[in-house]
Amino acid sequence: MRSQLAPQGVEFTRVSENLITARRIARGITFVVLVAAAAMPLLLRSLGAWSGYPAWLAWLLPAATLAAVVWAFALIPRQVRAIGYAERNDDLLIRQGIYFERLMVVPYGRMQYVDVTVGPLERALGLSSLKLHTASPSTNAALPGLPATEAARLREQLTARGEAKLAGL
């Protein structure tokens, strides 16, 4: 599916493919827990502890959950590849999402501060997350899964440009 939002003639840099692994691990755990929870009634029923539970629901619930989870799992690579950013002269462009797509532009002069965070899983895969904050709480400019060196470079670059283009509020 071609993106309608991505502007013409802008080359977006993708985040690291390692983010796919990171998300697969993190979400995989959540998904297993979800499916296990949805399968509980079925287990109870087959053990005879909850015989009044309708059979069709007992099978449908975990099946539907499993289908949703498998689909969400299969989407991870495309979601990760949909995350991109582009540094322009005055501002930073960030795009994300495939079905619910968002394109954001943050002027360098509006940045109040830049956060770089690293979790244990990210550290193991050599990744960092970067987040830009402006004076607006609606600015949700996060870039997950940057290679650690790229995150450091971007942070320095952004703060340097922010200082150069600084505008008050």
Partner 1 sequence: MSQPDDAAAGFGTDGPETWHHVHPVSPFVRGWVAVLAVLFIFGRNGMEDLFRGLANGGDYAPNTAPVWVILSIVGAAVVVFGISFYLSWRFTRYQVTDEYVHINSGVVFRQQRKARIERVQAIDVVQPLLARVFGLAELKFDVADGGKSAMKLAFLKLDEARRLRSAILARAAGLPADPQGPAVVVEAPEQVVLALTPGRVVGSVLLSGITVMALVLSAGVALLVVRTGSVAVLAAFIPMVLGVVAAYWQRFTTDFNFRVAVSPDGVRLHYGMLETRSQTIPPGRVQAVGLSQGPVWRMLGWYKIHVNVAGYGADAREGGTRTVVLPVGTQAEAMVVLGLLFPDPGVDNPHEVFAAGLNGTGDAQGFIHSPPAARWIDPLAWRRTAYRATATALLCRHGILYRRLQVVPHERTQSLSLYQGPIMRALGLVDFELHSTAGPVRPVVHHMDLAAAHQLFDEQAARAAVARRIHRSERWMEAAPAPLVELVETASSAPAASAAPVAELVETKVPGSETKDAGSAP
Which class for 27: exposed (0-12), middle (13-18), buried (19 or more C-beta within 10 A)? middle
Structure token pair of residue 119: 């979790």
Residue 159 in the binding site for partner 1 (CB under 8 A) = no
Among the listed ranges 4-12, 38-46, 67-75, 114-122, the one in contact with partner 1 (CB under 8 A) is 4-12
**Rounded to whole angstroms, how far apart are CA atoms 93 and 73?**
27
For the CB of residue 157, give the shortest distance to partner 1 in the complex, in Å.
Answer: 17
- Candidates 50, 68, 81, 107; binder of partner 1 (CB under 8 A) is 107
Residue 149 in the binding site for partner 1 (CB under 8 A) = no
Residue type, 105: V
Residue 18 in the binding site for partner 1 (CB under 8 A) = no
The DSSP bridge partners found for residue 127 are 147
Cα torsion angle, 9, 78, 81, 144, sign: positive
For the CB of residue 154, give the shortest distance to partner 1 in the complex, in Å.
Answer: 17
Residues 33-62 contacting partner 1, CB under 8 A: none
CB neighbours of 158 closer than 8 A, spacing ≥ 6?
Answer: 92, 108, 111, 114, 132
Closest to partner 1 by CB, 56 vs 100, is 100
> Can you give the binding site for partner 1, defined by CB under 8 A?
4-5, 7, 90-91, 99-107, 109-110, 112-113, 134-139, 141, 165-169
